[in-house]
Amino acid sequence: MTGESPPGLPQPRETPTNAPMLRAWREEGALALQRCPACAKVIYYPRVVCPHCWSDRLNWFRASGAGRVVSFTRVHRGLPAPFQAEAPIVLAEIALAEGASMIARIVTPDAGAVRSGMAVRLVPPGDAPRFPLPTFMPA
């Protein structure tokens, strides 16, 4: 699974708000999240203000990359061409160890083995360049 993203793979639109998260993923294979020092909530997706208390003093930190599957779906059809060879694609809501939740892809050789409650972790840093956004695998 190492290497560059396959040609034609959709890429995220980088903005000043999400640039720290995308840079951490591209350069280190790390998951960068925001934390609000005013209310101590961890925030995902990147924002300009805290959605809990409206503070604009958000800090970035490196998350552990560990989480649990809350819910998931296996997508077999209607995938863009770059994903078709990898079908089914598993998309999941992941409850991160830090307290936030995110929707992300889970890569696994056995998509049928993914279950709610299953522990997941980020793909190894060497595999991260293959995926445009933070991507998980079974822990």
In this prediction, residue 7 has a pLDDT band, given cuts at 50, 70 and 90, of low
Return the domain boundaries, the chain: 19-138
Q: Residue 3 pLDDT > 90, yes or no?
A: no
Segment 26-53 mean pLDDT: 97
User: Please, are residues 135 and 105 in contact by the beta-carbon 8 Å criterion?
Assistant: yes
- Which among 83, 87, 56 has a CA at the least distance from the CA of 74? 87
Residue-wise pLDDT tens digits, 55-74: 999 999 999 999 999 999 99
- pTM here? 0.91
How far from chain centre, in Å, is Cα 10? 15
If you classify domain 19-138 with CATH, what class do you get? mainly beta
CB atoms within 10 A of CB 31: 28
Q: Which residue has the tokens 């294979």?
A: 29
Segment 42-49 mean pLDDT: 97
- The count of C-alpha atoms lying within 13 angstroms of the C-alpha of 39, restricted to the half-sphere facing its C-beta, is 12
